[in-house]
Amino acid sequence: MTIRGNFAIAPVLLATMLALSACSSEAPGDGAHAAPTSSSAGLPAGNINAGEQQALAKGAATGQSCSDCHGADGTAPIDPTYPVIGGQYADYLAFSLQRYRDGSREHVLMSPQAKGLTDQQIANLSAYFGSRDSQLVNMTGAHDR
């Protein structure tokens, strides 16, 4: 192979390295409490501590907090039909809350709870519940992550 042939690989390698660095979910800040800097749901970076406080706060619409129905860490719902949200993917939670808020997804309790949430509050809640220990399992019953 000639030197010229080796230079043809360089742009591909550089593009791959840049793409991988753009996918990094590490945010500047305080390490364990940092959330991803971007969201596929188009939200600002979430704050885990603020999300925890929000999860415990009573919602104006129903008088209940997230934790009242889903459990303290989102891993112990009070009813088997309520989802485990602790350890769920933060982007999925954010997307779901946005859909409840805008009315494209309906639920008798979740829709009114989400109506008044700001983008930052949704990002914070998603960061908090997404940071909890995962209870997710794949189709074989093994833990997903």
Residues in the chain: 145
φ and ψ at 82, to 5 degrees?
A: -85, 140
List CB contacts of 111: < 8 A, sequence separation 6 or more. 100, 103, 105
- Which domains, from first to last, does the chain contain? 27-131 (1.10.760.10)
Q: Which residues pair with 116 in a beta bridge?
A: none
> What number is the average pLDDT over the span 119-143?
86
Q: How confident is the model at residue 140, as a pLDDT? A: 77
Whether the predicted pLDDT of 69 surpasses 80? yes
The 10s digit of each residue's pLDDT in 35-48 is 444 566 688 999 99
Question: What local confidence, expressed as pLDDT, does residue 145 receive?
Answer: 60
The pLDDT of residue 20 is: 44
Kindly state the average pLDDT of the residues 47-64: 90
Per-residue DSSP letter, 137? B
| Type of residue at 83 | P
- Looking at residue 5, its pLDDT comes to 53
pLDDT at 100 over 80: yes
Mean per-residue pLDDT over the chain, rounded: 78
8 Å CB contact between 106 and 93:
no
Mean pLDDT of 118-132: 95
CA torsion 29-32-34-39 (nearest 10°) is: 150
Confidence of residue 144 (pLDDT cuts 50, 70, 90): low
Token digits of residue 28: 């500047």
